[in-house]
Amino acid sequence: MLIGFLPLLLLFLDPPEGMDPKAWGLFPFYAGAILMVMLRPVGEATALAIFLGLYAVIMRGHTVALSGFALTMTWLVVGAYIIAQAFRDTNLGKRISFWMIRIFGRSTLGLGYAAAFADFIIAPVTPSNAARTGGIIYPIFLSVAESLGSYPDKNPRGFGAYISVLLYVVTMCTGITFLTGYAANTVAWALADQMLGLHITWLQWTTAFILPAGIVLLIAPYVMYLIYRPTLTKIDNVRIAREGLAAIGPMSSKEKILLCLFVLAIIGWATSSYTKINSTAVVLGFIAVCLMTNVLKWKDIAKNSQVWTTLMWYGGILGLAGAMNQFGFFKSCKSSKDHSKPRNEVDTS
């Protein structure tokens, strides 16, 4: 862990020429946080909490240290994690997966497309590959594989190996497609806004990625099928879907409310440039209705450590990065780099 504190030694050096002392005073804490996140002696949230606290005390910068928690980007991703919890707790994510199995799963290739499409459908409101694919989609298709007699130590090439390899490709694809599909997307979005002045809407992000991601999503199941062809071909998808849906039970009122809110959220994000209701407002409104209708209960949200870990991590890193941009650190670095370039001398005689 000690190596993560090495950047703090820069505090004993004078700032480079032309750089705001405030920017130079913040940089060691930012660099230390990034270094500790990379080396991972502790979790991301712990690393940010340490360096935010140190900066607040040493540099008396409590305002800067807390600025990231007021950003709409931070609350967008935190809110999306809460919505993902609703999909998991109400079993709507599982139900969508079994619907896809019933529609597409007549063969192992069809099951591959069912998994891909199910992951794609819930991606806009699940900003975590681990929570979405690892927590909802993969367990369902793993149980399908086991029902077909495909286990890691017994007949893995029956179906289990194929779906495992495929879902790794799928989750990378679906995560990048939507701004709210992967938490790191919002970091890139926030930094582009703060450092480059690029104001990207949810619809613009999705429009940019939907075509290449859609192509990958359409061909990945078939390509993985050719590379890692399962020995099973025909599947009794109707039975699997029927048994899976029976285990979940009839669709509850909470699921129906959540499904309606999900559709409204997609519409809200897609039309934000016209309605002037930004993406974060849509998420917060979604959560408010979930709480009002008991789709979610606050005590359950309070127990979700992933939500609060995300809040600390994103609020911290975006606050530090935003403050460095505000103090002109990145402009100073660019200016110094430009001045260091050799200029071609022109003979004007």
Q: Model confidence over 292-313: pLDDT tens digits?
A: 999 999 999 999 888 898 888 8
Token pair recorded at residue 274: 């016209």
On the question of pLDDT at 47 being above 80, the answer is yes
Task: Give the three-class secondary structure for 42.
Answer: coil
Residue 154: strand pairing partners: 151
Q: Mention every residue, 6+ apart, whose C-beta is less than 8 A from residue 340.
A: none
CA distance 287 to 105: 33
pLDDT number for residue 333: 61
Model confidence pLDDT, tens digit, residues 101-154: 999 988 999 999 999 999 999 998 888 887 788 888 988 898 888 888 888 778
pLDDT number for residue 73: 78
Q: CA 74: distance to chain centroid? A: 12
Q: Mention every residue, 6+ apart, whose C-beta is less than 8 A from residue 234.
A: 106, 107
Residue 151: strand pairing partners: 154
pLDDT number for residue 294: 94
328: left (phi over 0), alpha (psi -120 to 50) or beta: left
Q: Mention every residue, 6+ apart, whose C-beta is less than 8 A from residue 20.
A: 327, 328, 329, 332
Q: Mention every residue, 6+ apart, whose C-beta is less than 8 A from residue 199.
A: 193
Model confidence pLDDT, tens digit, residues 246-259: 999 999 999 999 99
pLDDT number for residue 293: 94
Mean of pLDDT over the chain: 85
Q: Are 199 and 226 in contact (CB under 8 A)?
A: no
On the question of pLDDT at 68 being above 50, the answer is yes
pLDDT number for residue 332: 63
On the question of pLDDT at 74 being above 80, the answer is yes
Model confidence pLDDT, tens digit, residues 166-176: 999 999 999 99
On the question of pLDDT at 65 being above 90, the answer is no
- Percent above pLDDT 70 for the chain: 94
pTM over 0.85: no
